[in-house]
Structure formats: C-alpha cells, structure tokens
Structure 1
Amino acid sequence: MKDQPVKTITTDNLLIAYLEHGSSDGWPVLLSHGFPYDAHAFNEVASILIEAGARVIAPFTRGFGETRFISTDIMRSGQQVARGFDVIRLSEALGLKRPIVGGFDWEGNSSCTAAALWPEQVSGLVSYAGYDIVDVNEQKHAATPSLERVCWYQHLFQSERGRECLAKNRYELARMLWREWSPDWQFDEATFARTSKSFENPDFVAVATHTYRWMHGLTAGDPSLQSLEGILTQKPKIKVPAVTIDGKTDPLKPGGTADHASMFTGLHEHIITNSGHNVPQEAPQVFADAVLKVHNWLK
C-alpha cells in the first residue's frame, strides 16, 4: 500500500498524528502499534480491511512520530490507563462510533484497557496477545530465567544508564528487538528506516522508560489516573466480542495465552499463527481476518 499522508488532531493532552485508510463513511477500526514500531505496521492490514468497507485509523502513539504532548506540564506517562485513554480520546475526537480497537505489544495492552474500562465506547477487540492488562504486583516478581533473559531491555531501562543507552542507541536497539522478537521475519532496511523516523520524537525515551519502570512497580504513575488503575488491579473481564492472537515464534510469549480465555465473557476466539511478535507485518492477513471476524459478529 502507498503511504498515506500523516494527519493530526488535538485531544485534551495530545496532538495525535495518525494515518487514515479507506472512506470516511466506512465502519471504524482503530489499530495501535507498540514499542518499538509505528503506525506503518498496519499498512497491509488496512489495505485488506478497506476492501471490506472499513475506515482504518492508525495513530502514532504517545512518544512516537509527530504525536506531541500539548504542554510541558503533562506527565510523560507510559502507563496503561494513560495509553488506553489515548485510544478513547482519539476515537472521540474523530467522531468514531464505537470502533473495533486492536493492537500489539504496548497497544494490545492499551486496547484491552480501553475495552475493559470503557466497553460502551468500543464495539470489539483484537488483541495480540491475550488478556493483555498489566498486573504490576505480579510484575514485581521474577519470571523464569529464560524469559528474564528475553526481557533484558526492560531491565536495562530501569536505570539511568539504560535511559542513556536508549537515547544514544535507539535505532540499533530497536533493530535488535525486531530481530529477536520476530526471528523468521526478513524485513528490509527500507521498512525499518520508515519506522525508525518515529523514534526521533522528543518524548520517545521518556515515555518508553516510564512504561517499563511503571510496569515493574519501580516508579509512580500519573496520580490523576490512579483510581482507574485501581479498577484494573481487580482484573475486570472484557465483555465486548474479542479475537486474541498468539505468534508461535514470539519469545516474549512462551507457551502462548490460550489460558486467558476465561477473561473474556463475550464472543471470543483465540488464534495461533506462525509468526513472531509483530503479527500485523509478519501475518497481516491473520490480523485482518481477526478484525473481520469481530466485525461479522457485530452485524
């Protein structure tokens, strides 16, 4: 698909840059990328969905691309409620009527957060991977040594040395993660270069390091969001129709997330595909088919 022009819209805390695919009167889909990717991750998914009549919005999430905080006074938070709120606020600003929301990595998390906290504003969910809401208390405890090794970057970002490493080596570090998380994906340099421009955002390092420090319970979140984070500690079940996806070769999700099924009380299907972490670019047909399945359930 030919790259779409970047559009922007202002919410109460962000100037959000986004790509729009399809007709403005299409059925709405809001697809969000994680770290370290950008909105172009959904180009091929969008090209499939617009053939089925969708209007696809793919934002550059906070800290990426041309998205900017509207004030220096706003906390550069990367916690899940802040990012979930971004999904809802963008939907409202664009006048989307109960879009299907979906994402991977951080934004699988934010899409699940949006669906759990604001189900009246979301019609359906596609999540890579599973019920992806962070349990901070659980994250304070050790995982298996093999998974701790895979999560080396999260441990690195806990220190100021790690912040400096990301600031000085963001492109090299991101390329390493792409290769480690998607071992069978043969991306070319042009694909990486297009995305890596989004890492030049002035808040990229601040948001990324806060995300992982907050997730590990080592730094505070935005006090104004604490009551909503409190709701998420109760692990609310997701009521909207949902398709969840696992990639067989993703080292971040050993064993997959099929055991999350009980966290979905509406229509739900779990899919396992032969890909790594970046399903939208490695297996765009699989991700698009998941969105189409949710859309067909809603008819």
Structure 2
Amino acid sequence: MAAFDIEDISIQYEDINPAGGEVAVLLHGWPDDASTWEEVIDALAGTGRRLIVPTLRGFGSSRFRNSQAPRTGNSAILAMDVIALLDGLGIARFAVAGHDWGSNIAEALAVGWPDRLERMAMLATPPRLGGMPTPPFEQAQRYWYHWFMATERGAEAVRADPHGFAHIHWINWAPDGWFEEATFRRVAKSFDNPDWVEITLHSYRARWDNAAPDPRSVWLEDAIKATKTLSLPTLSIKGDADGVTTRESFEKIPEKFDGPFEMVGLPGVGHFPQRENPSAVAALLMEFLDSSLVAG
C-alpha cells in the first residue's frame, strides 16, 4: 500500500503492475473497503493492466491532513479525490469499475472528465444521472437507512455503533450465509477511521438535499443532474438477489445510456457481487475491458 497527499487528504491506494499498460481504477463502495476487490485483482493482474485501487476518504488509512476541512462525502467530491490521485500519478486515460458508492463515483468521472474515461463498469447501483427523484414506496422502504441517517437520533445511533450499523446491511443486502463474520470484522476495521461516520452521514444526507454538497464540487453535482444519458461503453453488473435495489430500479438503468451498453444479472447474488461471486465478476470485467464494445 502507498499513500498520496491531495489537497486536504492523504489517500491510501494500491498500485498493481505499475509498469503495466492500460489503467483500470477499482472503486469500493459502502459499507465496505478496498479489500472488496482482492479476488478480482488476482485475475485482472494477470492481464498486464495497471490497477489503481484507492481507499475512499473516511475509510481505512485514508486520512484528512487538514483538521478544518469539511467532512464531506458526496459523489462529486469523491470523484474529485480520484482525479487528484490520478493526476498525481501522471495517469491521463483510464477505465473504471465501481461498486455501490464506487459506481456513482464512476458516473461522476464520466460526466466531469469524459475525455479521460475510456469505459466504465457499474456494480450493484443505478446511476443518478438527471437527479434523484423521490423513489417509489418499495424502494423507499429498502432505503430506510437513508431516512434514518437524516434524523438526529439516527445519526447518534450510527455514531454509537458504526460496526453494528454496517453489519445489518451486510445481513440484509444479500442471501443468508453469504459472508463469514471474520471477514466482516476485518473489513469493519476500515470503519474505525475517525471520519467514517461523518463522511457516511454527509454522503446520504447530501443526495436527498438534507445537506449541501462540498462547495468545491457543486459544478460537478449540477452537471450530473443536468446529464440525462451517457454514451461511453458501459457494463452494469447486478445481483438478482440484491436486497437494497428493487428489480424495477435495475430495469430502468438502460434508459440512462445511449451508447454501447450491457447489463448482466448474476443468479443468487446480492449486493456484493465482487465478494459473492468474484470469479464471475472477474471474467465479466476482463471481457469488458478487453472488448471493443460497440453500439448495436
């Protein structure tokens, strides 16, 4: 692992095959950490690609260097962190695969830096292009934790037991028995970051206008809301047993893409496909990254 200092933060990241060819960036989600890609990395590393795997602000060993910096976690500011890291590493062009939060960071990168992003894979999470309308009641029910965190009592409960809050989502979002408790405990150490709770609260509050986005990122948040569709080659991977996103929400994803696009559902898989079925995800990503996907 290495660390790179951007404006207010020291970002922890892995640089795998630094002398490799084309670059792929792997972005983790919530509540998770960069280890979510471990088994996928093992497969992708053999393709000769250079892999950049950041740990997002507020997670693991990525730390704020400025005690006065706002603890913000909206997708656009997270995308700006990624660009700052890639700029520092001298990387101009890249592909990206993102899970959960990472998916929405990926689309923010596609909106903000379309000349740099070659293609993207989005795992388990629909895009937010065009803004986020109030969801139908079934999806709103699955988003209970969003509304919970919007209240002061909910926020205090998360501050009091961040591991317990994360754990209930691992249980609810995928089929019974999909993970070992030892794995969760290892990952949950990343949630001991002193800013994890505040980054989490801000991320979910900001998406429903209960908090303002980081001021530096307003231009990008506005651009995401103004963008109705994307045309870059895109792969969407979903678990058919995802416990947080309804089938209807997934069915609407293709409407957001007017270029080369493919959606793949994985039977018996929940919200963590790269953890639940890493061999299938690795195979899909290798094929996608090596393909010349064209509109059909």
Normalised to the residue count of structure 1, the TM-score between the two structures is 0.90
SS at the partner of 1:119? Answer: coil
Q: Distance in 2 between matches of 1:82 and 1:290?
A: 29
For residue 266 of structure 2, what is the aligned residue in structure 1?
A: 273
Q: Distance in 2 between matches of 1:270 and 1:125?
A: 12
Cα contact 1:238–1:266 (8 A) shared by 2: yes
Cα contact 1:184–1:276 (8 A) shared by 2: no
The one-letter code matched in structure 2 to 1:84 is: A
Change (3 A) 1:97 1:227: closer
What is the correspondence of 1:187-266 to structure 2 with a 5 Å cutoff? 187-255=179-247, 257-266=250-259
Change (3 A) 1:258 1:91: farther
1:106 to 98, 101, 109: 101
Q: Distance in 2 between matches of 1:237 and 1:250?
A: 24
Change (3 A) 1:134 1:79: farther
Deviates further, 115-124 or 208-217: 115-124
Please state how far the C-alpha of 1:53 moved relative to its aligned partner.
1.5
Please state how far the C-alpha of 1:76 moved relative to its aligned partner.
1.4
2:165 to 167, 170, 173: 173
Cα contact 1:134–1:215 (8 A) shared by 2: no
For residue 290 of structure 2, what is the aligned residue in structure 1?
A: 296
Q: How many residues align?
A: 291
Cα contact 2:129–2:256 (8 A) shared by 1: no
Change (3 A) 1:266 1:91: farther
Q: Distance in 1 between matches of 2:98 and 2:132?
A: 24
Q: Distance in 2 between matches of 1:156 and 1:98?
A: 39
Residue 61 (str. 1) matches residue 61 (str. 2): no
For residue 284 of structure 1, what is the aligned residue in structure 2?
A: 278
Q: Distance in 2 between matches of 1:137 and 1:243?
A: 21
Please state how far the C-alpha of 1:130 moved relative to its aligned partner.
5.9
The one-letter code matched in structure 1 to 2:173 is: W
Q: Distance in 2 between matches of 1:108 and 1:187?
A: 22
Q: Distance in 2 between matches of 1:271 and 1:197?
A: 32
For residue 178 of structure 2, what is the aligned residue in structure 1?
A: 186
Residue 32 (str. 1) matches residue 27 (str. 2): yes
Please state how far the C-alpha of 1:185 moved relative to its aligned partner.
4.8
SS at the partner of 1:154? Answer: helix
Q: Distance in 2 between matches of 1:76 and 1:289?
A: 37
The one-letter code matched in structure 2 to 1:133 is: R
Please state how far the C-alpha of 1:12 moved relative to its aligned partner.
2.2
Change (3 A) 1:209 1:134: farther
Q: Distance in 1 between matches of 2:213 and 2:95?
A: 27
Q: Distance in 2 between matches of 1:135 and 1:218?
A: 18
For residue 50 of structure 1, what is the aligned residue in structure 2?
A: 45
Deviates further, 32-41 or 121-130: 121-130
SS at the partner of 1:292? Answer: helix
Cα contact 2:129–2:227 (8 A) shared by 1: no
Please state how far the C-alpha of 1:114 moved relative to its aligned partner.
0.5
Q: Distance in 1 between matches of 2:250 and 2:243?
A: 13
Q: Distance in 2 between matches of 1:234 and 1:258?
A: 21
For residue 114 of structure 2, what is the aligned residue in structure 1?
A: 119
> Gapped runs of 5+ residues in structure 2?
none
> Gapped runs of 5+ residues in structure 1?
1-5
Please state how far the C-alpha of 1:170 moved relative to its aligned partner.
1.0
Q: In angstroms, what is the RMSD of aligned CA positions?
A: 2.0
Q: Distance in 2 between matches of 1:148 and 1:160?
A: 19
Cα contact 1:258–1:270 (8 A) shared by 2: no
Cα contact 1:100–1:125 (8 A) shared by 2: yes
Cα contact 2:95–2:117 (8 A) shared by 1: yes
SS at the partner of 2:229? Answer: coil
